[in-house]
Amino acid sequence: MSDLLLSVEQVEVVYHDVVTAVQGVNLTARAGQIVCLLGSNGAGKTTTLRAISGFIGLDHARVTGGRIVFAGEDIANAAPHICARAGIALVAERDKVFEQLSVRENLEIGMVAGKTGSQAAGGDRLDLKGIYRFFPELERLTGRQAGFLSGGERQMLAIGSALLTSPRLLLIDELSLGLAPVVVERLAAALTDIRDALGITILLVEQNANIALSIADYGFVMENGRIVLDGDAGRLLAHGDIQEFYLGQGAAAGERRSYRAVKQYARKRRWYG
Ligand SMILES: Nc1ncnc2c1ncn2[C@@H]1O[C@H](COP(=O)(O)OP(=O)(O)OP(=O)(O)O)[C@@H](O)[C@H]1O
Ligand SMILES: [Mg+2]
């Protein structure tokens, strides 16, 4: 496939030389796609994104098997600045912004990083105005200290800063965590606009399958460090197991079952029901 931008092949990640967090993970993203990675707590989603962006090195973890091929180069275990220079930007689960700095200063850091960066995204480089077009809220908040932003504004700032590094691949860890549904919808719509306007590729980690699959082209479901299901977003959205596990149908309120258990249950039901 010529437009394959990212190919994670049989990747294994080990923390502190002892804890295997992901094993045999296969995942691909084609240029211009929005791809989502779903899965419950501890499945290995963050580990996978941090492996792709090189940050696992800071977490005392290593890729101990497989390859992470980005734009034709194996970048497994490359340092974060090498991955950034190649065109990969991560919006992390925590520590998204510099809290002591203003909104504008946070964005300027992204711009500086983008200038020392690469050939990354083709076409015109984004400037502050370009970011404000996607997120007009940030223009109104330009002098505000980032530590005082709401969760949604903070997420916009983190995405804006990442875009200013001119990435080809934008990785977002937990878009919706702790945010009100209306804010999540706003952010999801912005991601679609960003992809359409800039042609970049987005890999989104989410626990909210509904919102992720509504904007994604393709989805992967992870459990216990492995990919257990993947497919076109529309197909996954209609998939009975996904419906049952993530969208809560058939499960008692508050009950959190493993995807595998739901799958086995669903199989049995098909056989015996
Ligand atoms: N710094 C670390 N040291 C040791 N083990 C870790 C570390 N970070 C994560 N792990 C382990 O790796 C596994 C995968 O964790 P990871 O954070 O990647 O999952 P996740 O899918 O992002 O979960 P969540 O939805 O809770 O964010 C877990 O078993 C976790 O305990
Ligand atoms: Mg995580």
Question: 28 with 8, same domain?
Answer: yes
Number of domains making up the chain: 2
Instruction: Tell whether 265 and 142 lie within a shared domain.
Output: no
pLDDT value for 2: 61
Average pLDDT of 69-92? 96
Answer whether residue 168 shows pLDDT above 60.
yes
Please give the average per-residue pLDDT across 23-48, as a whole number. Answer: 96
Confidence of residue 116 (pLDDT cuts 50, 70, 90): low
Same domain, 138 and 224: yes
Report the share of the chain in percent with pLDDT over 90.
75
Report whether pLDDT(110) > 90. no
Residue 168, both tokens = 């080809």
Closest-CA residue, ligand 1 atom 16, reads 44
- Which atom of ligand 1 is nearest the CA belonging to 39? 21
HEC string for 82-120: HHHHHCEEEECCCCCCCCCCEHHHHHHHHHHHHHHCCCC
Average pLDDT, the chain: 88
- Ligand 1 neighbour 38 (Cβ under 6 A): no
The three-class DSSP label of residue 227 is strand
| Same domain assignment for residues 45 and 88 | yes
Establish whether residue 208 lines the binding site of ligand 1, counting it when its CB lies within 6 angstroms of any ligand atom.
no
Residue 94 has pLDDT above 70, yes or no: yes
The pLDDT of 149-176, averaged and rounded, is: 96
Pairing of strands 88-91, 73-74: unpaired
Q: Tell me the CATH number at 230.
A: 3.40.50.300
Domain match, 251 and 217 both? no
Structural domain including 35 reads 4-238
Q: What residues pack around ion ligand 2 (CB closer than 5 A)? A: 45-46
**What pLDDT digit, counting tens, does each position of 218-268 carry?**
999 999 999 999 999 999 988 877 777 665 544 444 444 555 655 554 444
More confident residue, 16 or 259: 16
CA dist 119 and 73 (Å) reads 15
Predicted local confidence at residue 188, as pLDDT: 96
- Comparing CA positions, the residue from 140, 112, 142 lying closest to residue 125 is 112
For position 262, what pLDDT does the model report?
56
CA torsion 209→230→48→160, rounded to 10°? -50
Same domain, 154 and 199: yes
Q: Is residue 163 located within the same domain as residue 77?
A: yes
41 lines ligand 1 (CB under 6 A): yes
User: How remote is the CA of residue 2 from the centroid of ligand 1, in Å?
Assistant: 33
Residue 168 Cβ < 6 Å to ligand 1: no
- Closest C-alpha residue for ligand 1 atom 14: 44
Q: 121 pLDDT exceeds 60?
A: no
Asked which of 15-29, 119-133, 155-169, 224-238 is least confident by mean pLDDT, the reply is 119-133
Asked whether 2 lines ligand 1 (CB < 6 A), one says no
Q: Is 21 in the pocket of ligand 1 (CB under 6 A)?
A: yes
Q: If you take atom 13 of ligand 1, which residue's CA is the nearest one? A: 21
Tell me the C-alpha distance between 189 and 211, whole Å: 10
Identify the residue with better confidence: 36 or 113. Answer: 36
128 and 246 assigned to the same domain: no
Residues 130 and 255 in one domain: no
Query: Are residues 80 and 133 both part of a single domain?
Result: yes
Same domain, 208 and 222: yes
Q: To test the ligand 1 pocket, which listed residue (11, 23, 46) has its Cβ within 8 A of the most ligand atoms?
A: 46
For residue 39, the ligand closest to its alpha carbon is 1
Considering only residues 75 and 122, tell me which one the structure prediction assigns the higher pLDDT: 75
d(CA 45, CA 63): 14
Q: Cα separation of 13 and 92, whole Å?
A: 18
